[in-house]
Structure 1
């Protein structure tokens, strides 16, 4: 085999390989779901409601802790005048009140607490609408993957031409 024939063979194989690879190329895009969500009025209203509710609960809990502090201060001031039984009863009362407030805090702000449930109730339908729009967009345009740039997916570099956030925003209008 001559050098010229070898070069032609390599060139033909390269063209065949590139054609095979390009026929299996996947279409990829990304969107910024946070940008999309923050542009939706219902989402902003839900966030305001959540923030307002959380602030009210924080105030309630702070008031309860203030009551505990008052109980403790009264106990400290009266401690020398109290019998051993009365001191033990008051200490237990303070500890029980602290436990009660910690439980309230957990019920409101814990991983499966009331705030989490309220967030699911208010935000999930909006998120589902956005995800449905993204899925529909991907299907219509033939995208194989659409990544969420805001989700901490580890995307280090992305070509801005693949950002389809604006297209999804238009689709939601």
Structure 2
């Protein structure tokens, strides 16, 4: 094989390889879901409602802990005057009240608590709308993958030209 035919063969192979890689190229973009959510008035209102409710519940729990502290202070002041049975009863009463408040705190703020359920009721429909808009955008524009930059799931660097957050926000309006 002479030099010219070898060059032609390599050039042909390079063109075929480039065409093959182009055929399999995947379109990728990213969005910042937090930015999109923050731009939705309904989401901001839901967040305010959740914050207000959480604050009320925190105050309620703090008041209960204050009552327990008062019970304990009275117990400490009167302890020397109490019989052994009365001391035992008061200690159990204080510990029982502490357990009640811990249970209340868990039922309000625990992983399956009232705040979690309320958040699901208020925020989930909005999130689903955003995810549907992202999916629709991806299908319309032919994207194979759209990543969420706000989740921080391994995105170390991203070229701003691939950021489609604004496009999705326009789609939601």
Q: Does 1:116 align with 2:109?
A: no
Matching residue of 1:134: 134
Number of equivalent positions? 173
Q: Does 1:76 align with 2:83?
A: no
- Deviation, 1:16, is 0.2
Matching residue of 2:13: 13
Per-residue Cα deviation, 1:39-88 (whole angstroms, up to 9, x for no partner): 00000000000000000000000000000000000000000000000000
Matching residue of 2:34: 34
Matching residue of 2:143: 143
Return the TM-score normalized by structure 1.
0.98
Inter-partner Cα distance in structure 1 for 2:84 and 2:17 = 89
Return the TM-score normalized by structure 2.
0.98
- Deviation, 1:3, is 2.9
In the TM superposition, structure 1's runs of 4+ consecutive aligned residues that sit over 4 Å from their partners are none
SS in structure 1 at match of 2:21: helix
- Deviation, 1:6, is 1.9
Q: Give the RMSD, CA atoms, in angstroms.
A: 0.7
SS in structure 2 at match of 1:155: coil
- Deviation, 1:152, is 1.4
Q: Does 1:97 align with 2:97?
A: yes
Q: Does 1:66 align with 2:66?
A: yes
Mark the runs of 5 or more structure 1 residues left unpaired by the alignment.
none
Matching residue of 2:86: 86
